Structure 1
């Protein structure tokens, strides 16, 4: 049977088996994960709607469970959990690859790493990436949640974590659920406070990265660190 005579739902599967996964379009790959469509919308249409709604595979990679739940056709737990599991596997694989490299050989890798971990969070999360003297990643720790200000992020706890990891440098990071990654005055003040606190133990703040779905900003590149 030729591809053109196959039922629509069978086309991506048969195409993959005949030509390999590289021959499939993004929507076809996603259709294989979704398996079926919904009334009035076939599986390929549903897959394309997802890609359009999240701005492609990269945007979908940063989607959280709540984001998926809002898409008509993914309200059922089976489809949503299957897709969420695959996205999490992809996130962890990419994070592992980024973690194994010297982050400052490619500064963009820092933004990608932070995006994978924080961009899809529905609430603000403050984290720190602790680095050794060669600027290799030792650990990333999520330290605070909620509205981030100088009073809600405690410098002594960041300092304690840096000492515990024997870090030589730190990259600060947090997300903006609003979708805007422009640093606020509070972000700038917090960065300066933490720089001063960490300088007392000879730990340098290399950057403060702010992320949102599909966006990332380096305060160091802005000259703010």
Structure 2
């Protein structure tokens, strides 16, 4: 009888010893444990698109013809949209590409020059940034194209300018998908030939400085 009791007690102790291991196995495979796993951190990697509002200051300069040596300043607002892709390399470095298209209302006029009007612009640029988590500082640069019109009295002439742009800005992730940004861009659009009178024309180029704010959605 004593031997039977001893064997029963030993079996009970072995069973109790197995409970923690069984509990550990159960918790490891438990869906509840998976549900409470740490969330994945935010990343800038992915495509995005957004809307732009901004303000531009322009300087038009004539280098030849009847208007040679004359200049005129212009300013006004802009609205547009942008789209691009970011890739987070690691070590807080973010690289990407972006393009935008904007409708401009940038105007200026003088008696001697006439009136000028920058009507639209578009850029395609590379971006390089440094991430501080949900905030990123970046530089950007690439090709720029813009449409302009000059009215020199009895003659009105339009042209498309091709040039380059450089800028810098900061962008913040408001949520995992919504971002907000502010940036400055300088652009040099080079010269194009504008008709200014009967049998006369002038080479006119212009540069711009723009402050732009954007609200985007990251997919």
More strand by share: 2
Which structure has more relative contact order (CA 8 Å, sep 6+)? It is 2
TM-score by length of 2: 0.25
TM-score by length of 1: 0.24
In terms of fraction of residues, the more helix-rich structure is: 1
Q: Which has the larger radius of gyration?
A: 2
